[in-house]
Structure 1
Amino acid sequence: MNQDYIKPNSWSIIEEGFDADRVESSESLFSIGNGAMGQRANFEETYTGETFQGSYIAGVYYPDKTRVGWWKNGYPEYFAKVLNAPNWIGIDVQVNGVTLDLNTCKKIEGFRRELNMQEGWLSRTFRVTMPNGVDLKVETKRFLSLDIDELGAIQYNVTPLNGDAEITFTPYLDNGITNKDTNWDDKFWDVLNVSNAGEQAFIEARTMKTDFYVCTYMESQVSINGKTLNLEPSSYTENNKVAFEYKTEVNSEDTYTITKYAGYTVDRNHDKSKLVSAAKKVLKEAVNTGFDALLDKQKEAWASIWERADITIEGDVKAQQGIRFNIFQLNQTYLGTDSRLNIGPKGFTGEKYGGSTYWDTEAYCIPFYMATKDQSVAKTLLEYRYNHLDRAIENAQKLGFTNGAALYPMVTMNGEECHNEWEITFEEIHRNGAIAFAIYNYYRYTGDYSYIPEKGLEVLIGIARFWQQRANFSKDKNKYVILGVTGPNEYENNINNNWYTNYLAQWCINYALESIEKVEAEYQSDFARIAKKVKLTSAEIALWKAVADNMYFPYSEKHKVFLQQDGFLDKELISVSELPKSVRPINQHWSWDRILRSPYIKQADVLQGFYFFEDQFTDEELANHFDFYEPLTVHESSLSPCVHSIQAAKLGRMEQAYTFYLRTSRLDLDDYNHEVHEGLHITSMAGTWMSIVEGFGGMRIKEDKLAFTPQIPEKWDSYSFKVNFRDSIVKVNVSKTETNFELEGDKELQILVNDNLVTIAPNNLVTV
């Protein structure tokens, strides 16, 4: 049974009514972020019920030593923990000496929580009867500034309803936090200094082992009915905590307000000895600007993002809410302003999946960022991998590869592999292919070849070297084979000749060879520099070519399909439709042994390959493979439904495409996999965008032009989206009867619509 408590709304995520059982799920769903930091939607006031406290700073992590029963050569030394950072949102509230706590209140009425995605803020309102009989109304609003990305702001209002009351606000900073997941219960933070001056407070701390220096800071102001109070707060400090107390008498029906400005300054952006002075500078700007004006700037910043990235859907509120939630969370996680950062699969919403960078970025996120922002953002993501090339070569060396072969990590913070499950760390090597494909995809979409001679070719060479060494020649098959791998379908481990992995290996080598040829012919000085640096020889290139030309692909003549892997047909092929709902998701009900022997697919590797390399296969081949694998796919990877949605749309199966679209867009909102309390699936959210733009809109690059084959789900009246293609913004609006194209830019653009050439001119509507 999926959850169903989020109210349908086109621009907001809304929860009505308080239910302690869903607090942790809501903390994930209502998370906020600004690319530099983020936090789960924890309550500001005390809450003694079940909660998952979480605040996170982009790029700050801890190398938690790997915990395994016995060591394997080549094992990563550590698992990178996305660190729970010092908590700055806390505001304890006492009324006549009794603490406000929704877990102990006699009555809670009118509870409403809203995440306004259009304007970028989180609010709560509720009325309570406290254990001492006092009736209160509480209203809160908070946001993380996009304008000043080291700053967050909270406005917290309390109104006594049945008599005068003595109310105390205690805003605090707390560095005594721990991670929910830790291998050895290590201490992650070392507090260096706790200080306060006037109404400002600071905690300076550093992370153990990684030595990130962070200053957590705050300043508060109080008022009654909007009139500032000059209350002299009392203060107290402990080893890990600093707090102020603002106590005053409040008349019945008057509103007592605390406005709190807080956040982090980090040594990624400042000298570590000047973090407090940097924090003071931010606080001065925040206080001088004021909460309302800061909120106005927040609204403007989000309006600018939505102007380019929004997708509108008429006639289906749940579908509209789903896509905007996905676009909103992607922008909260990564804005492309810092090349040292990447897109973590949980973003700032939880701690699962240590590390910040997976192959998801290249396979799913780059298309979203290319089309909804300036192409420089996507190029920054490619450069992130180039900057980690030396580490990728080191990662391969640890596993016994030589001569500059590069194996990019499955999970990383700094380029070093930090994933702890051997069948993924050593065997899920298809990730290398996604990184090469992203380079190809960037050039295909933007037309900007400059990255390849400057940096990309070195990456492609390192990857080609890896594939040539990872394959071995089978005398029995008279072909090159790749043994002992795990594909994207992690429900098959340590298998031989995963079709997707073998196909990627062949493609990567061929693309490297093609790129070498082009760079050598057209960018001679770059080629000479690179060939000398990496010691490239014609004899080595001949070895690569032999592997690519003679790669083995498992195939079934009986079913006319490429096989997931050599032994796939040895399984008992029973359709997912025959599985009782009570055992779904199977990863929460079955033993791993049973899953590995079953035919059930977490995400279909073969169809992922057909998605990447669509032009290499006919529609008839796609239909045959889709019909063979989809009935066996349980979609328990967040990355699965979007690819199926795109392919169902390509095959004209719009009802099925729509069903998959809803599943990907509302994966977290409706908690399909019963795990949203752990955090959101950020990187797969880019797949939701792809489901509409590439699936329903049919956007492709054909003949070096933007191409569309628009379709519309039956439940929708119309939908629209924009794409930034080579410095022209194309707006596409699809209805039941026609498709309209508009162009923002200063030059006309030729596009293909249903394979017909159409010319669109700036500010001139074209209807097809």
Structure 2
Amino acid sequence: MNLDYIIPNPWSIIEEGFNPDQVKASESLFSIGNGAMGQRANFEETYSGPTFQGSYIAGVYYPDKTRVGWWKNGYPEYFAKVLNAPNWIGINVLVNNEQLDLFTCKSVKKFRRELNMKEGWLSRSFIATLQNDIEVEVFTKRFLSLENDEVGAIDFNIKPLNADAVITFQPYLDSGITNEDTNWDDKFWDTLNVSHENNQAFIQAKTMKTDFYTCTFMESQVFIDGKSVLIEPNIKADANLASFSYKHQVKQNETYSIHKFGGYLVDRNHSKNDFVKVAKSVLKEATETGFTELLNNQKMAWAKIWDMSDITIDGDVKAQQGIRFNIFHLNQTYLGTDATLNIGPKGFTGEKYGGSTYWDTEAYCIPFYMATKDQSVARTLLTYRYKHLDKAIENAQKLGFKNGAALYPMVTMNGEECHNEWEITFEEIHRNGAIAFAIFNYYRYTGDYSYIPEMGLEVLIGIARFWHQRATFSTDKNKYVILGVTGPNEYENNVNNNWYTNYIAQWCINYALENIDKVKEGFEDDYNRISGKTKISHEELAQWKKVADNMYFPYSEKHNVYLQQDGFLDKELITVEDLDTSQRPINQKWSWDRILRSPYIKQADTLQGMYFFEDQFTTEELERHFDFYEPFTVHESSLSPCVHSIQAAKLDRMDQAYTFYLRTSRLDLDDYNHEVHEGLHITSMAGTWMSIVEGFGGMRVKNDTLTFEPKIPEQWEGYSFKVNFRHQILKVSVNHNETHFELEGDTDLEIRVNDKLVTISPNNMVTV
């Protein structure tokens, strides 16, 4: 059944009433992060019911040995596990020596949990009766600081309601943690040192195999009715744990509180020899600033983010809540401050998928970060791929490619392939195309060509070499074909001539050739450096051109559409509408064999190509392909509804566009795919942003000009968004009668609206 317990609210995710069956789902939905670390919304106090404990440090992983029944050349050695990190949020709470545990309490009333997206904090409140009949009222609030991304803070308050009570807070650090998922039950962490001093504790630990050194730290302060109390704690420490006990006699209706500050240091940023010294300094600053001031700083930091990235929707609270939920989690996951990090598909909300980088970053996330932040953030994401080029060449070599051909990994942490499903690892090679497209998309949007001669051209050459070698000449067709692939539709494996893969291969080769000429003419020093390094020759480029010019594309004269792959019409073409709803989702109900023989499409495939290369097809062609493929699409990928929403809006099918928008924006909030307990779909959240800006707003860059074709769903009264286009911030506000444009900047901006040129002057609203 769908989740429907989240209360509609424009700025908050709210849950009222305690239901143990919802705990795991809520732990995902209410997750918090700050780009450097994150955590599921686990309770601070003990919880003995079903729970998925998860705290994560960006960039820290473990190479879990791939578990397969067979081995082939080129198969990844390991699957990169996103690691559950040592836990610093834990606070055991004892009331007259009885453990506070919502799973065992006699009753839980007035339970309320709120994730305040506007200000960046998580709170919880409830009244509980323990087994010893003491009734307590509890209120907690916590956040992970954006201002200092190594620290987080917790405010935990408890009030006995029906008697005086001895209450003990036991804040602790615990490195004896495990992952929810592991192939071999390996030990992931090696605890090196547990130490404590005054009210501070430190656990230094390193990951097995990968040797990421970390320091987890904490310091606590306690209060009665807001006044500081000095209590000498009892201290317990063992090989993996440091725990302090603050016991106090609390009168009926008095509030006993603890402020706990904690977080992580990693050797990416500090020498491991200085960990304790640095942690003490971080804690000193946090405790001297205090919880309240830290929270005020948090509110200001989020206000700055929202000022640029917010999308407002009038008249539809669920739609408004959905888009802000997506924007909030994208900003919690990645802020562009560390060039070694990327955007993992689950962010800091779960462990599924592993790895930190998929093609999702280039295909879906870069447009969001380009438009809502400074373009340097998107450039950082492209630089990340350039730094992995040598590994991409190595990945291709393992599969038998040569001469500097590059195959970027499907999943990676450090540039090495670490995905453990052969039909994805070896065959879903279209990911190479998304990386080249992102280079094109970055230049198209920002006008910053410098990335290509500095770094991008080398990436384009490696990718073009891969496509040239991956294509096979078919004497039967007298064309070049690409055999044995998986397209974006992962419900078809090992197919021949996936149209999208062939099309993007042809485009990549042509785009590489175009930019070789451009760099040769305009950036001689860069060209000489690159040609010397890559040894490109006229003969090789002529061979690429021959492959691109003679690429085969399967086509059906009967249906007047490009075929998703050679054998698509051999399937029994029963539409989703005629599929028994009890069979959905098919990925949870059917065998893989049955799925592969079915016509059902997991996400946009042929339509993905028409989304990327919209200018190369007429609206009539898009409509024909949309009408043919969408009825077979089950949208069981989180990346599916957004592309379909954008295309439905372009085709003026606003009801359909709105339905797809709601599905993408509330995919996790309403748990469409019955898997939210495993974590959120972070990378597809950028597609939600695209659904509004590119779909309803109709934003494109054509001929170096920002263009709009604004539309509005009938369910909305109006909506607005901002984009940072070439260092000028444009606000777009749409209602049923007109569109308003406002410009922040120093110079005029010429845009095109519904195919008419419009000049926007700074601080002067223009209405169209």
Q: TM-score, normalised by structure 1?
A: 1.00
Hey, what does 1:340 align to over in structure 2? 340
579-588 vs 83-92, which moves further: 579-588
In the alignment, the residues of structure 1 paired with residue 395 and residue 151 of structure 2 have an alpha-carbon distance, to the nearest angstrom, of 37
Hey, what does 2:635 align to over in structure 1? 635
SS at match of 1:649: helix
Alignment of 1:429 with 2:441, yes or no, is no
In the alignment, the residues of structure 2 paired with residue 442 and residue 348 of structure 1 have an alpha-carbon distance, to the nearest angstrom, of 26
How much does 1:238 deviate?
A: 1.1
Q: Deviations over 1:227-246 (max 9, x none)?
A: 10011001010111000000
After superposition, where does 1:35-54 map in structure 2 within 5 Å?
35-54=35-54
SS at match of 2:249: strand
Hey, what does 1:58 align to over in structure 2? 58
SS at match of 2:170: strand
In the alignment, the residues of structure 2 paired with residue 714 and residue 311 of structure 1 have an alpha-carbon distance, to the nearest angstrom, of 17
How much does 1:733 deviate?
A: 0.2
In the alignment, the residues of structure 1 paired with residue 223 and residue 242 of structure 2 have an alpha-carbon distance, to the nearest angstrom, of 22
In the alignment, the residues of structure 2 paired with residue 764 and residue 580 of structure 1 have an alpha-carbon distance, to the nearest angstrom, of 55
The one-letter code matched in structure 2 to 1:711 is: K
The one-letter code matched in structure 2 to 1:442 is: Y
Hey, what does 2:177 align to over in structure 1? 177
How much does 1:604 deviate?
A: 2.5
Alignment of 1:391 with 2:391, yes or no, is yes
Alignment of 1:187 with 2:187, yes or no, is yes
Hey, what does 2:538 align to over in structure 1? 538
After superposition, where does 1:305-704 map in structure 2 within 5 Å?
305-704=305-704
How much does 1:731 deviate?
A: 0.1
How much does 1:224 deviate?
A: 0.4
Hey, what does 1:226 align to over in structure 2? 226
The one-letter code matched in structure 1 to 2:75 is: Y
In the alignment, the residues of structure 1 paired with residue 87 and residue 568 of structure 2 have an alpha-carbon distance, to the nearest angstrom, of 49
In the alignment, the residues of structure 2 paired with residue 702 and residue 386 of structure 1 have an alpha-carbon distance, to the nearest angstrom, of 27
5+ residue gaps in structure 2? none
In the alignment, the residues of structure 2 paired with residue 679 and residue 486 of structure 1 have an alpha-carbon distance, to the nearest angstrom, of 25
In the alignment, the residues of structure 1 paired with residue 651 and residue 583 of structure 2 have an alpha-carbon distance, to the nearest angstrom, of 31
The one-letter code matched in structure 2 to 1:230 is: L
Q: Is the 8 A contact 2:604 2:643 kept in 1?
A: no
The one-letter code matched in structure 1 to 2:642 is: C
In the alignment, the residues of structure 1 paired with residue 245 and residue 484 of structure 2 have an alpha-carbon distance, to the nearest angstrom, of 61
The one-letter code matched in structure 1 to 2:388 is: H
Alignment of 1:19 with 2:19, yes or no, is yes
Q: Deviations over 1:146-192 (max 9, x none)?
A: 00000000000000000100000000000000111111111110000
How much does 1:276 deviate?
A: 1.1
Hey, what does 1:6 align to over in structure 2? 6
Alignment of 1:706 with 2:706, yes or no, is yes
SS at match of 1:669: coil
The one-letter code matched in structure 2 to 1:454 is: E
Hey, what does 2:243 align to over in structure 1? 243
How much does 1:523 deviate?
A: 0.6
The one-letter code matched in structure 1 to 2:717 is: D
Q: Deviations over 1:329-383 (max 9, x none)?
A: 0000000000000000000000001100000000000000000000000000000
Alignment of 1:103 with 2:83, yes or no, is no
The one-letter code matched in structure 2 to 1:478 is: N
In the alignment, the residues of structure 2 paired with residue 378 and residue 522 of structure 1 have an alpha-carbon distance, to the nearest angstrom, of 24
Number of aligned residues: 768
Hey, what does 2:256 align to over in structure 1? 256
In the alignment, the residues of structure 2 paired with residue 55 and residue 3 of structure 1 have an alpha-carbon distance, to the nearest angstrom, of 24
Hey, what does 1:196 align to over in structure 2? 196
5+ residue gaps in structure 1? none
In the alignment, the residues of structure 2 paired with residue 679 and residue 275 of structure 1 have an alpha-carbon distance, to the nearest angstrom, of 31
Alignment of 1:290 with 2:284, yes or no, is no
SS at match of 2:62: strand
In the alignment, the residues of structure 1 paired with residue 563 and residue 281 of structure 2 have an alpha-carbon distance, to the nearest angstrom, of 60
How much does 1:578 deviate?
A: 1.2
The one-letter code matched in structure 1 to 2:143 is: F
How much does 1:28 deviate?
A: 0.2
RMSD, matched Cα: 0.4
Hey, what does 1:273 align to over in structure 2? 273
How much does 1:583 deviate?
A: 1.4
The list of structure 1 runs, each at least 4 consecutive aligned residues, that deviate by more than 4 angstroms after superposition, is none
SS at match of 1:6: coil
The one-letter code matched in structure 1 to 2:101 is: D
181-190 vs 459-468, which moves further: 181-190
How much does 1:703 deviate?
A: 1.8
In the alignment, the residues of structure 2 paired with residue 283 and residue 654 of structure 1 have an alpha-carbon distance, to the nearest angstrom, of 52
In the alignment, the residues of structure 1 paired with residue 74 and residue 21 of structure 2 have an alpha-carbon distance, to the nearest angstrom, of 42
In the alignment, the residues of structure 2 paired with residue 535 and residue 27 of structure 1 have an alpha-carbon distance, to the nearest angstrom, of 53
Hey, what does 1:723 align to over in structure 2? 723
The one-letter code matched in structure 2 to 1:133 is: D
In the alignment, the residues of structure 1 paired with residue 743 and residue 231 of structure 2 have an alpha-carbon distance, to the nearest angstrom, of 57
How much does 1:744 deviate?
A: 0.2
Hey, what does 1:214 align to over in structure 2? 214
How much does 1:196 deviate?
A: 0.5
In the alignment, the residues of structure 1 paired with residue 238 and residue 581 of structure 2 have an alpha-carbon distance, to the nearest angstrom, of 51
Hey, what does 2:127 align to over in structure 1? 127
In the alignment, the residues of structure 1 paired with residue 17 and residue 607 of structure 2 have an alpha-carbon distance, to the nearest angstrom, of 42
SS at match of 2:167: strand
In the alignment, the residues of structure 1 paired with residue 232 and residue 435 of structure 2 have an alpha-carbon distance, to the nearest angstrom, of 57
In the alignment, the residues of structure 2 paired with residue 512 and residue 666 of structure 1 have an alpha-carbon distance, to the nearest angstrom, of 38
In the alignment, the residues of structure 2 paired with residue 277 and residue 624 of structure 1 have an alpha-carbon distance, to the nearest angstrom, of 65
In the alignment, the residues of structure 2 paired with residue 272 and residue 387 of structure 1 have an alpha-carbon distance, to the nearest angstrom, of 25
Q: Is the 8 A contact 2:607 2:625 kept in 1?
A: yes
How much does 1:441 deviate?
A: 0.2
Q: TM-score, normalised by structure 2?
A: 1.00
In the alignment, the residues of structure 2 paired with residue 641 and residue 387 of structure 1 have an alpha-carbon distance, to the nearest angstrom, of 32
In the alignment, the residues of structure 2 paired with residue 43 and residue 230 of structure 1 have an alpha-carbon distance, to the nearest angstrom, of 26
Q: Deviations over 1:580-619 (max 9, x none)?
A: 2211111000000000000100013100000000000000
In the alignment, the residues of structure 2 paired with residue 66 and residue 643 of structure 1 have an alpha-carbon distance, to the nearest angstrom, of 33
How much does 1:492 deviate?
A: 0.2
How much does 1:633 deviate?
A: 0.1
The one-letter code matched in structure 2 to 1:585 is: P
Q: Is the 8 A contact 2:168 2:247 kept in 1?
A: yes
